[in-house]
């Protein structure tokens, strides 16, 4: 029988040999053993239960095969809450937490005296953005859409598990909202924005849904389509909030100018100093 220390050491050594992320061993162990990091120290010399060892080695094997740790665990933490994920949805990213945070600031700035605020999240995936916003700001009425039925299954399950009131609609981009003549105060989207032929990490490309990643030849296909069609969905005053690629500022400014003329907008950097969020102020300032 192995001790916890031996089991984790062996896994870390193998990860290191294969130039993979050594943290994964502990992350997987915490998950399977239902332990917090500080509890691990207390059990380092204990012998590992046989079932736990088996599950751990099976999980590590999946990781060596190239499966992201979040799909192996079955969830990712976003804004302090656990969201179920599987191969039908993009794994929520830290950068996207910053988008949510910046939307919340702008709700304080521009919608302070609104008793209710209508918001839509287009291409919701796991539902991370829509559900977090609904839970953080009770004045929001949130509608979330996706073209993928399989993604909506995951998003609905997350809304149920987290007790969030979000209305989900199936359909292509704005269509489900246009069909029901929706009007929103805040339009949010983190559309696929990676240019089709851009080289990306194998672990992302081989596992995460391409429908959530690739955005046409220059990555802006979905933004242009949204910019072109979104006006009938907007209330008189509205905020548009998007995540975007770090190298898309110039193309984005051109597209905004083409479809929104001189409306004020901001491109904000993420914590890595990369252009990541776009806000368009539609009759807001």
Q: Which residues bind ligand GLN (CB under 6 A)?
A: 93, 190, 192-194, 204, 213, 243
Taking the complex as a whole, the smallest distance from the CB of residue 8 to ligand GLN amounts, in Å, to 28
Nearer to ligand GLN, 4 or 89 (CB): 89
Taking the complex as a whole, the smallest distance from the CB of residue 70 to ligand GLN amounts, in Å, to 12
| Distance, CA of 42 to CA of 33 (rounded, Å) | 13
| Number of Cα atoms under 13 Å in the Cβ half of residue 21 | 12
Contact 174, 187 (CB under 8 A): no
Nearer to ligand GLN, 117 or 125 (CB): 125
What distance, in Å, lies between the first and last C-alpha atoms of the chain? 67
Taking the complex as a whole, the smallest distance from the CB of residue 194 to ligand GLN amounts, in Å, to 5
Residue 275 DSSP code: E
Q: Name the 3-class secondary structure at 285.
A: coil
Contact 240, 280 (CB under 8 A): yes
Nearer to ligand GLN, 176 or 192 (CB): 192
Nearer to ligand GLN, 146 or 243 (CB): 243
Nearer to ligand GLN, 132 or 190 (CB): 190
Q: How far, in Å, are 186, 199, 239, 264 from residue 104 at the CA level?
A: 11, 33, 11, 19
Nearer to ligand GLN, 59 or 191 (CB): 191
Beta-carbon contacts of 69 under 8 Å, excluding residues fewer than 6 positions away, are 21, 24, 27, 28, 63
Taking the complex as a whole, the smallest distance from the CB of residue 278 to ligand GLN amounts, in Å, to 12
Taking the complex as a whole, the smallest distance from the CB of residue 245 to ligand GLN amounts, in Å, to 7
Beta-carbon contacts of 34 under 8 Å, excluding residues fewer than 6 positions away, are none
């Amino acid at each position: 029988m192995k001790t916890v220390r031996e089991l984790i050491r062996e896994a870390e050594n193998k990860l290191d040999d294969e130039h993979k992320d050594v943290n994964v061993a502990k992350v997987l162990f915490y998950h399977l053993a239902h332990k917090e990091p500080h509890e691990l120290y207390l059990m380092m010399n204990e012998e590992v239960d046989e079932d736990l060892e088996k599950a751990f080695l099976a999980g590590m094997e999946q990781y060596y095969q190239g499966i992201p740790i979040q799909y192996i665990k079955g969830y990712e933490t976003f804004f302090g809450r656990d969201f179920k994920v599987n191969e039908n949805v993009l794994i929520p990213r830290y950068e996207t937490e910053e988008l949510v945070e910046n939307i919340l600031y702008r709700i304080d700035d521009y919608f302070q005296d609104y008793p209710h605020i209508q918001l839509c999240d287009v291409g919701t995936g796991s539902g991370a953005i829509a559900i977090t916003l609904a839970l953080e700001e009770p004045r929001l009425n949130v509608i979330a859409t996706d073209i993928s039925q399989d993604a909506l299954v995951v998003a609905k399950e997350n809304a149920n598990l987290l007790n969030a009131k979000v209305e989900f609609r199936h359909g292509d981009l704005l269509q489900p909202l246009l069909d029901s003549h929706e009007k929103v105060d805040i339009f949010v989207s983190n559309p696929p924005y990676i240019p089709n032929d851009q080289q990306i990490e194998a672990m992302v490309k081989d596992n995460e849904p391409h429908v959530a990643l690739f955005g046409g030849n220059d990555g802006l296909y979905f933004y242009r389509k949204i910019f072109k069609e979104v006006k009938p969905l907007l209330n008189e005053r509205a905020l548009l909030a998007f995540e975007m690629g770090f190298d898309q500022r110039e193309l984005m400014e051109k597209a905004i100018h083409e479809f929104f003329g001189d409306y004020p907008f901001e491109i904000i950097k993420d914590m890595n100093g990369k252009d990541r969020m776009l806000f368009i102020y539609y009759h807001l300032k």
